[in-house]
Amino acid sequence: MNKAVVYREHTLGLIINGNTMQVLKASVLRGATSTQQQGVVMVNEADTRPATREDFCSFRVHWHPDYQVAKAN
């Protein structure tokens, strides 16, 4: 399973190896500098939070059962 995270509240991605994140979707409206980010970026774990299925809806990305998500509050 790939752990889904939200990076700095503006990018949805999957942690693929330690601090490496595969970007699924970035939002300039939420503060991302570009929607044309590289497919893989290095992130600081302190700048991420576990993603929920609701995050996939709000980023308009289809959730897949292989994506590990947190339960919504």
- Residue ranges for the chain with pLDDT beneath 50: none
pTM score of the predicted model: 0.88
Domain range list for the chain:
2-68
Q: What pLDDT is attached to residue 72?
A: 80
43 Cα distance to chain centroid:
11
Strands (E), the chain: 2-7, 11-17, 20-26, 40-42, 48-50, 67-68
- Which amino acid, 26? A
